[in-house]
Amino acid sequence: MRYNDEDIEFANLILTDRENLDDAEVNAWMEDPEHVKLLQEFATAYQVRMNKNFDRDKEKEFARLERDFYERKSRRMTLRWSVAASIILLVGLFVGRTVTEWRDLDDARVLAKTERNVPGAKAELILSTGERVVLDRKNVAIEGLNEMGIRNDSVTGLDYATAKVEGKEIMYNTMRIPVGGFYQLALSDGSKVWLNSMTELRFPVTFTGEQRKVYLTGEAYFEVTHDSVHPFIVETPDGMEVKVYGTEFNMNTYEKGVVQTVLVKGKVGVRGGVLGKEVVLAPEQMAVYREKTGEIQVENVDPYKYVAWKDGEFVFERETIEEIMERLSRWYDVKVFYSNESLKQKRFTGAISRYKDIEQVLHLIEGPATLHFEIKGNVVTVQGGQ
């Protein structure tokens, strides 16, 4: 289908000036599936040109963008998210950074001075004796009284591949990630773990015995090395265990009494408590365990929404403002207040870089969610839109 000029112009307005459009008009326009496809392909074209200053010469850039769009239309490129998640999040896509751009951020930008804690690669390692080591992106060897051979790499993070312990007793170390922090860890068996803000992982310096067991509080993404003889097990404070059969998955325990497990590839078994029945997940499924009832609910999901944090992005799909602000407060170390309780239930869909200033992130949410955010120091007040 060849779109007319009016449709293309309206798609452009949704991406660049959504807050000034009439909601009823946008909703009516989006009822046509062809318009949804137009927005998806338009957003892809935007991302190619996302590093340009679009405001500098709008007419020229729009003409180039239109040409890009028609070229891409023939190749039928698609976005990573579902159609439902694509409708309003395109504003976020326009301003978001790609994973490659995130990796290329220099230290000066990540460690820029601000009134609040600056999110970035930071963590604390607690050795078996209780000694604490502050980690950052430096190439150093770490040794304690009982452990040796631990390396901290400037690119890949903490590495236990050559770690050793004195004696035969199992020695545990703990990684603790503060508010606004993240870090990557390679365990002694080669398994990789990405740790999100406000997360703690307790693990053996070297795995011994019949199983490889670690203890998680917070959120982590696991890429587990396959070993059929020695199962890999993640245990949470809520009494839930995830038994891994060589796989990639995300676990989230932020909400007290609730554990969320999303499987990206491979196979995991989820068990609520020692005597609970094991539920086996297939890729693109999520298990939600609730300690209060002991039940495990399974549903099909798009995993990227749940794992995008490790690639440097926030992805929101019709999430309430209350849920969104909880996530932002863990990352930016802010306290949130609402001028009206009803504002908590407003919803927003979008994809935004985690390495933008909080002012930029909140500005992107304001228009589509018809809200206003007032920021003073580390306090954010949510107000109704003007």
Q: How confident is the model over 152-163, as pLDDT tens digits?
A: 887 788 999 999
Is the CB of residue 132 less than 8 Å from the CB of residue 125? yes
CA distance 247 to 97: 27
pLDDT band for position 119 (50/70/90)? confident
pLDDT digits (tens, 9 = 90+) for 9-33: 787 777 666 666 777 787 777 777 7
Q: What is the mean pLDDT of residues 368-379?
A: 87
C-alpha span between 247 and 118 (Å, rounded): 32
| Domain 115-305 matches domain 312-384 at the CATH topology level | no
Q: How far apart are CA 293 and CA 276, in angstroms?
A: 12
CA-based nearest residue to 349, from 70, 8, 20, 83: 83
Token pair for 253: 């325990």
C-alpha distance from residue 382 to each of 201, 327, 338, 342, 354 (Å): 33, 15, 5, 11, 20
Those residues with Cβ within 8 angstroms of residue 24's Cβ, 6 or more apart along the chain or in another chain: none
Report pLDDT for 268: 93
pLDDT of 87 strictly over 90: no
Q: What is the pTM of this model?
A: 0.69
Residue 173 above 90 pLDDT?
yes
Question: What are the extents of the domains in the chain?
Answer: 5-78, 115-305, 312-384
pLDDT at site 98 = 32
Q: Which CATH architecture has domain 115-305?
A: Sandwich (2.60)
- Contact partners, residue 164, CB within 8 Å, separation at least 6: 147, 148, 149, 205, 206
**What is the longest distance spanned by two Cα atoms in the chain?**
75
Rounded Cα gap, residues 165 and 172, in angstroms? 10
**Helices 33-48, 83-95: inter-axial angle, 10-degree rounding:** 30
**Second-level CATH architecture of 312-384:** 3-Layer(bab) Sandwich (3.55)
At residue 216 the predicted structure's pLDDT band, cuts being 50, 70 and 90, is very high
- C-alpha to C-alpha distance for 105 and 149, rounded to whole angstroms: 29
More confident position, 164 or 86: 164
